[in-house]
Structure 1
């Protein structure tokens, strides 16, 4: 699979961050480039009709009656949700009940596997355990209906106390493109399987992986406040915004990168070619297929892969920004002067690194996870795709 940092960066656009979605999610979430959208090079393939979906509850802690499923997203710029019958229905403010929230939950069957049918759409599959999620339908600035999505990293969010998580997908005529995500938080372990041209699975945790991830994050003093009881681990970017994580955590590493590459070159190879960069003044300037440059990022820029590390969809600056973002989070920019680093043994070494992403990757069977927005660089994200999908399975694995 081609690493996503070498693909069209329109895929980094949040799948439902359009119209009302921009106001329906906290600002910090709206900038997270989850990137599931159009797929270049696959326009001549054709996925055939609704996709069979199977939901398997192997949580071991909650029976099917205690698991609530939601499929929400967008079609042609309009926010929608999936009904239990497999119909896509537009979101409407009138869907709010007496408590002010919608009830879009799709119940699982009494026991065994639940079968659904997924039409073309992009979005998220949420699961909540024990309690239903509170989605609120609102009207955006353009007068269109939009949903306020759960923000489990925000203490004031009505879903903060609910055990929940999600997977992301885009299903269209070009195929099925899907991933599990820990970009915002990690709570419920989910595995996805996609069959079609190939039979692929990702997201599966090692036995005891969830507990091991929680314990590993707790052991690092700077990251320990991100662990919320046994409910979730908040990603450090959101932790920073909430005052739970130091705003200057990566500053010493960033300064050392800037100092080191004042005197020698850093190379970054993308589909566009190889870029060679040095720090000149306050800019990290690269030459090669195009001239691109970056001002010194902040810790927040590194964690969100945004700000001075934002990745525009231009085929040059964007891919270089993605590689730099991954290098900062994985702490490989000093040890590997030819990026992207591809040996996972070199990732997350030393005390100053993204210990959250490190713990999440260590917990998975295939070593892949979405611990930060550019975790797809060198193909280390829990992402799979197929141009002719036959079935998709979402499994809640043991907590």
Structure 2
């Protein structure tokens, strides 16, 4: 399965190793060659009319590597500093139709579909270190960001010759409930938050000790990693749990199994978790490493250390390492039981219809992410669901 960290490349964080996609039957290969995909936007918020909502499709041209945006007529166009207006920002908004559903065309690319409610998002085209145009994305959780006061959220996708790969994401923040329906060889839907779920999420996260400052008024609730960087979440939150894990596995072996049948056995020695099978030693992580699934838990795209680090990162976030010496856990009833856990992610999963969410970067471990894919896609629909 392609996951959000690998298929977004420069738009997202570091890449994570994933199994290769299997071969497709001949009829699927024919269908997957289509360069465009019908995209339907459905406004079911009940709070905002179509005229109050803007759509933005931005990302990377997979053929040229250029950072690009999609025009209202479905063309993939490279971004340019000349796109910045007199206010210094580029208006890449695509308006919804006056009423009913909006029909758009999605070209082959990798990126994000943003939705802004009540106001427009402010993107800015800058020049990167190689002198190429680059797009500054919204960091709405940062008070100094020009998009801080704008209600907005996003879905992530890669659409290319071999299929469509997409997810709803709460890895950075949650603000606007979004659901994806993907049609093709299957009819799949994920990310649906039931009516009233937005309020339950914003309230539920902040009911947990230490998570109180993650809500930014009625705008959004932010991931604890970003809260940590903003001084709104304790930098040592996971430290006691990490210490217990390190103590347990000094005398106990941890067994990690991959989907392809490979297994790796590890044990703590000093400051490192060492595994057999050619896995690089994994250093004792910090709280920030756990929340971002980065640093000591970064997953190189090597097919060995990467999957092991991802599973270990997921087990820390779900707080299952003290309860089970075999990972990954596959029973969601056993997740988030420790007092020290990722309550943000727990609340996200509790408020989706299928129980799936992208509450942290490795939430796709054991297939608990709000992620779907189809190797012969015929259409995609994104619904802004009722609040």
Q: TM-score range by the shorter chain?
A: over 0.9
Question: Against the structure 1 CA distance between its residues 227 and 128, is the aligned structure 2 distance closer, same or farther, given a 3 Å change threshold?
Answer: same
Q: Are residue 40 (structure 1) and residue 21 (structure 2) matched?
A: yes
| Residue in 1 that maps onto 2:312 | 324
TM-score, normalised with respect to structure 2: 0.94
In 2, Cα distance between equivalents of 1:269 and 1:227: 36
In the TM superposition, what is the alpha-carbon distance from 1:31 to its structure 2 partner?
A: 3.2
TM-score, normalised with respect to structure 1: 0.92
| Residue in 2 that maps onto 1:71 | 57
| Residue in 2 that maps onto 1:284 | 273
1:117 partner SS: strand
In 1, Cα distance between equivalents of 2:384 and 2:70: 19
| Residue in 2 that maps onto 1:56 | 42
More off after superposition, 328-337 vs 44-53? 44-53
More off after superposition, 42-51 vs 312-321? 42-51
Q: Are residue 158 (structure 1) and residue 140 (structure 2) matched?
A: no
In 1, Cα distance between equivalents of 2:104 and 2:309: 39
More off after superposition, 167-176 vs 208-217? 208-217
| Residue in 2 that maps onto 1:392 | 380
Aligned residues: 379
In the TM superposition, what is the alpha-carbon distance from 1:36 to its structure 2 partner?
A: 11
Q: Structure 1 stretches of 5 or more lacking a match?
A: 22-29
In 1, Cα distance between equivalents of 2:301 and 2:202: 35
In the TM superposition, what is the alpha-carbon distance from 1:37 to its structure 2 partner?
A: 10
| Residue in 1 that maps onto 2:193 | 205
In 2, Cα distance between equivalents of 1:276 and 1:262: 13
Tell me, yes or no, if the aligned pair for 1:309 and 1:325 is still in contact at 8 Å.
Answer: yes
Deviations 1:160-193 (A, max 9, x none): 0100000000000010000000000000000000
In the TM superposition, what is the alpha-carbon distance from 1:16 to its structure 2 partner?
A: 4.8
In 1, Cα distance between equivalents of 2:23 and 2:43: 33
| Residue in 2 that maps onto 1:194 | 182
| Residue in 2 that maps onto 1:31 | 13
In the TM superposition, what is the alpha-carbon distance from 1:40 to its structure 2 partner?
A: 2.7
Q: Are residue 114 (structure 1) and residue 114 (structure 2) matched?
A: no
In 1, Cα distance between equivalents of 2:19 and 2:251: 40
In the TM superposition, what is the alpha-carbon distance from 1:12 to its structure 2 partner?
A: 2.7
In the TM superposition, what is the alpha-carbon distance from 1:291 to its structure 2 partner?
A: 3.9
More off after superposition, 373-382 vs 147-156? 147-156
In 1, Cα distance between equivalents of 2:236 and 2:7: 27
Tell me, yes or no, if the aligned pair for 2:14 and 2:298 is still in contact at 8 Å.
Answer: no
In the TM superposition, what is the alpha-carbon distance from 1:15 to its structure 2 partner?
A: 1.4
Tell me, yes or no, if the aligned pair for 2:293 and 2:310 is still in contact at 8 Å.
Answer: yes
Match for 1:371 among 350, 356, 359? 359
